[in-house]
Structure 1
Amino acid sequence: MTENLSEALTLLLIEDDDGDAFLVEELLRQAMAPPKIFRARSLREALSKLTSEIQCVLVDLSLPDASRLEALEAVLELAPHTAVLVLTGLRDTHVGTAAVQAGAQDYLVKQDVDARLLARSIRYAMERKRADLAQLRLMQAELTAKENARLQSGLLPVKLLRTDAIEYTTRYLPGSGGTLAGDFLDTVQTPDGAVHVVVGDVCGHGPDEAALGVALRIAWRTLVLAGQTGDTLLRTLDALLRAERKAPEIFTTLCMATIAPDLRHARMRVVGHPPPVLLRDGTVDVVPGAPSGPPLGIFAEAEWPAIEVPLGEEWSMMLYTDGLIEGAVGERQQLLGVDGLVNLIREHGGIDLDRLLDDVGTLSDDLAVVLMSRRRR
């Protein structure tokens, strides 16, 4: 016998005719590795035996409690990841073709079955099912990638920055899982010359969180262009978050800064977010007094006092999400943390994003970073 079952399988045979069932069982006993066979005489009995250990189902389409394709449809609904092989009579080959079109992997005419054909059909049915599932996963991955691309375009807008006195760099990286999250960033320069920047993080991962991040980012930009800043802006974002989130436990942290038109000082609000890093006169430190208030979506009457930050003539300021400080560094793969981030920048002698991310290595969470620098003229 050149065609055989080379591995022990667990099958479910749904057949009400004892003679036909005996024939199938006898033919399968001739396999190199005879399968474990469960028998069901009706669709109702089959549904109770269709467990996760079943690798392939052989189903007769003439059952006492199901006619034509009813049995097949019930099996496919209950076990969508299991291979299904349909058994038909000599006069019902057209039904077998319809069964394949409905989702079965193959069909056999009972009168034509021998041990070799049966073993080969079972093996081929399982391989076709694996191929079908792989193709389905590929299509789902492609759809997810396209959706993520659309969401990411909303999370990463084109900056509205007119001045060339500021060097502007961003990074946006997914975590090790590759799932898009709700990290977002934006930069807007208003007609008065002030530069507004935000970096935020919606808790959780997935398209819902990413969509919420897009909504918050667009709302922030709209409010800034409309002249809204400070607590008024944050309370509006808080109301939007509460209206749009899928669950009451979802919150958002963010850091936003308004750099004055003279580019020598900034006003910040750190909303339950990691503190920004500042490099001034060769000194690296974090913004003192951060955070200035709790995350959005936690307390209904929260306040976020402004933090006044002198910048001077030459400076660099980095806003980031917690994916950066939760990265693992060193041989022991310890979490970087805020203090570790500051020490790493000191070792580098400045803020070099590419070098910094190389040292951090694999990210466990998404990462959004905005680095703004002003050089002495």
Structure 2
Amino acid sequence: MPAPVPTPAPVPRQRDTSPAEGGPGTGSLYGQASLTLLVIEDDPAGGLTVPEILDVDGHRIRLRSARNLTEATRLLTPDVNCVLLDLALPHGATGSGSGSGSSDPVDPLAALRQVLRIAPRHAVLVLTSEEDAERAAEAVRVGAQDFLFRDELDGRLLSRAIRYAVERKRADIAQYKLAESKLRAQENARLERGLLPHPLLEGSDLRFAARYRPGRSRALLGGDFYDTVRTPDGTVHAMIGDVCGHGPDEAALGVELRIAWRALTLAGLCGDDLLATLQEVLEVERPNEEIFATLCTVDIAPDGRRAGLCLAGHPAPLISRPGRPARLLPYEDSGPALGLLPRARWPRRQVELGGSWSLMLYTDGLIEGRIGKGKERLGQDGMVEMINRHLDSGLSGEGLLEASVTEARRLNGGELTDDVAVVLLSRSEA
């Protein structure tokens, strides 16, 4: 330990203070009455010789002192804004008596590395002698916000260093969070691309469009799911479903049901056999017995002029043809939602499509949004009317879906609380 400066003023011991609720890094800079500095040095009576430290607002900076890192860990409460570490802290001053950290004689910055481990969100200043400038610079490279020379220390210099260190640490944390947020967004985008389906329609003359909006804030996927595949015989199979609930478990179950549907469809299952098998998958994979899922499946013949329709508690699709208003397909004799009744049956209804048509499959998130400030919902009738307006204005494909979801949000007065999935298959005989 270097010789103390003449006529030193002792560092005040810890006073009873209530921790700030704002966590580390708060202080007068952020609306608190004063800053708190934790000094770590082996000889508090002879190390720091500043009689009084004031912050930028003229408030006295509160001081706490610790003789070793064990004491420092105990005193490092949330209201501490900055740590001042004496790099001349003896190797035995960890207070632990063993292990790594400042007890390592090979690493002259071992104490600093341990402080950075126990105080990752606090600003850290190091105190050293002017002859040890190289080690002070290395301390900044390791992670300290700044260094101070013991012989040049005074109240103004220290208060300014504390202020800058706290601001710099705050900026570093903000920059780290921003970088972390960008990385998470990139990972989420990759995950979303992997979870949302890619339609398998090679060789088909059908056009495909889809829109998906999860109801949960910042969620990648909700409980809604959809898929479209073309089997080797030329039949195009489309599906849309909705798992009740809005949490991550429901979203995961929706992905499992979609993947199971694709595998079973490509294996040749269709209609009631496929839905019965999907119900078995749901019963095994659902987190509790109250979870169920609605489903709509459509299998379009290779010539594109007719289709088979199965409904499991799901809203009926909407069909539009040139020169005619859009309407809902017949939905009599639909079966129950998956997971509600054991050994249920799902009748398959034959539907004539014609030569040119558009078929829209959707989840109830599109029709359950409110209209204005009252309790009235858009409903299926309101959706059909809305779609017909957009068709009359010449919209089709992606533009039709985008306009419909946007109008549903506008009528609701903001974001729709439920997940929304919409799939549009179109065929032109020409």
Distance 2:126 2:376 in 1: 56
Q: 1:291/1:134 Cα in 2 relative to 1: closer, same or farther (>3 Å)? A: farther
Match for 1:162 among 203, 221, 226?
203
Query: What TM-score results when the alignment is normalised by the length of structure 1?
Result: 0.75
1:5-44 residue pairs with structure 2 within 5 A?
A: 8-16=33-41, 17-19=43-45, 23=49, 26-29=51-54, 31-34=56-59, 36-37=61-62, 39-41=64-66, 42-44=68-70
**Displacement of 1:292:** 3.1
Match of 1:255 in 2: 296
Match for 1:292 among 328, 331, 335?
335
Match for 2:401 among 335, 353, 360?
353
Render the CA deviation track for 1:223-248: whole Å, top value 9, x for unaligned: 22221234544455566667778x55
**Displacement of 1:358:** 2.8
**Displacement of 1:13:** 0.9
Q: Contact 1:258–1:266 at 8 Å: present in 2 too?
A: yes
Q: Contact 1:271–1:304 at 8 Å: present in 2 too?
A: no
Match for 2:146 among 106, 109, 122?
106
Structure number with higher helix proportion: 1
Match of 2:237 in 1: 196
Q: 1:196 is matched by which residue type in structure 2?
A: H
Stretches of structure 1 that go unaligned for 5 or more consecutive residues are none
Q: 1:299/1:358 Cα in 2 relative to 1: closer, same or farther (>3 Å)? A: closer
Note if 1:171 corresponds to 2:211. Answer: yes
Match of 1:369 in 2: 422
**Displacement of 1:253:** 4.9
**Displacement of 1:195:** 1.6
Q: 1:357/1:70 Cα in 2 relative to 1: closer, same or farther (>3 Å)? A: same
Match of 2:84 in 1: 58
**Displacement of 1:157:** 0.6
Match of 2:384 in 1: 342
Q: Contact 2:38–2:65 at 8 Å: present in 1 too?
A: yes
Distance 1:337 1:368 in 2: 15
**Displacement of 1:53:** 3.8
Match for 2:317 among 276, 289, 302?
276
Q: Contact 1:287–1:309 at 8 Å: present in 2 too?
A: no
Q: Contact 2:301–2:307 at 8 Å: present in 1 too?
A: yes
Q: 1:241/1:91 Cα in 2 relative to 1: closer, same or farther (>3 Å)? A: farther
**Displacement of 1:359:** 1.2
Stretches of structure 2 that go unaligned for 5 or more consecutive residues are 1-27, 103-108
Query: What TM-score results when the alignment is normalised by the length of structure 2?
Result: 0.67
Note if 1:318 corresponds to 2:360. Answer: yes
Distance 1:308 1:357 in 2: 28
Q: Contact 1:292–1:307 at 8 Å: present in 2 too?
A: no
Match for 1:224 among 250, 257, 265?
265
What SS does the corresponding residue of 1:29 show, helix, strand or coil? coil
Match of 1:47 in 2: 73
Render the CA deviation track for 1:119-151: whole Å, top value 9, x for unaligned: 332233233323322332233233223323323
Distance 1:278 1:59 in 2: 73
Distance 1:333 1:83 in 2: 52
Distance 2:343 2:333 in 1: 15
Structure number with higher strand proportion: 1
Distance 1:353 1:254 in 2: 20
Note if 1:86 corresponds to 2:139. Answer: no
Q: 2:183 is matched by which residue type in structure 1?
A: L
**Displacement of 1:76:** 4.2
Distance 1:223 1:264 in 2: 24
Aligned residues: 367
What SS does the corresponding residue of 1:28 show, helix, strand or coil? coil
Q: 1:294/1:6 Cα in 2 relative to 1: closer, same or farther (>3 Å)? A: closer
Distance 1:335 1:82 in 2: 51
**Displacement of 1:372:** 2.0
**Displacement of 1:197:** 0.7
Q: Contact 1:171–1:368 at 8 Å: present in 2 too?
A: yes
RMSD: 4.2
Q: 2:124 is matched by which residue type in structure 1?
A: V
Q: Contact 1:181–1:205 at 8 Å: present in 2 too?
A: no
Distance 1:275 1:107 in 2: 70
Q: 1:44/1:340 Cα in 2 relative to 1: closer, same or farther (>3 Å)? A: farther
What SS does the corresponding residue of 2:58 show, helix, strand or coil? coil
**Displacement of 1:47:** 3.3
Q: Contact 2:318–2:326 at 8 Å: present in 1 too?
A: no
Q: Contact 2:241–2:296 at 8 Å: present in 1 too?
A: yes
